[in-house]
């Protein structure tokens, strides 16, 4: 795991692939643009991020849904520390960071979410999981999974 700086923008690389930084933030910004806003008077309240990394999804998420409460699950304590040190993860008062295995968390949590984002990778290898995202969603909730298609990311939407 390495932190690199390019034109003043920091990124974290694992296995030759950017895990957190401008490319990841751009992917999530574009992906969240296509997500419809909740109905009038029904704010997006709770968001779960499986594979928080250094938190590149937080800024675009809060731009789209500024008042949501976010729970970020990250298995790697070093990634969380890098997020705090290099990406200002500690500045978000509406973010709860839990250092845990996402599969274990999902099996034991009783919480329900309006939006679940899955971004679990080590390098370019997706973490194989058996998570039933639908069981984590409130009625009308949505899920988004980041998957690689060749060398490009694409989003799979779950409703």
Mean pLDDT score of the chain: 83
pLDDT of residue 136: 95
* 39 pLDDT higher than 90: no
Judged by DSSP in three states, 98 sits in: strand
pLDDT digit string, tens, across residues 88-111: 998 999 999 999 999 899 999 999
Q: How far apart are CA 47 and CA 143, in angstroms?
A: 10
Residue 136's nearest CA partner among 124, 126, 145 is 145
pTM over 0.75: yes
User: Is the model's pLDDT at 22 over the cut of 60?
Assistant: yes
Mean pLDDT value across residues 5-30: 78
């Amino acid at each position: 795991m390495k932190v690199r700086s390019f034109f003043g923008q920091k990124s974290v690389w694992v296995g030759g692939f950017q895990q957190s930084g401008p490319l990841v933030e751009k992917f999530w910004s574009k992906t969240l643009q296509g997500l419809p806003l909740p109905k009038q008077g029904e704010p997006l309240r709770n968001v779960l991020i499986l594979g928080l990394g250094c938190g590149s999804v937080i800024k675009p998420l809060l731009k789209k849904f500024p008042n949501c409460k976010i729970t970020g699950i990250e298995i790697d304590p070093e990634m969380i520390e890098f997020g705090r040190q290099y990406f200002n993860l500690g500045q978000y008062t509406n973010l709860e960071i839990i250092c845990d295995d996402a599969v274990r968390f999902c099996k034991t949590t009783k919480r329900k979410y309006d939006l679940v984002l899955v971004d679990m990778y080590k390098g370019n290898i997706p973490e194989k999981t058996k998570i039933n995202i639908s069981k984590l969603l409130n009625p009308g909730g949505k899920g988004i999974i980041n998957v690689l298609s060749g060398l490009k990311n694409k989003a799979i939407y779950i409703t």
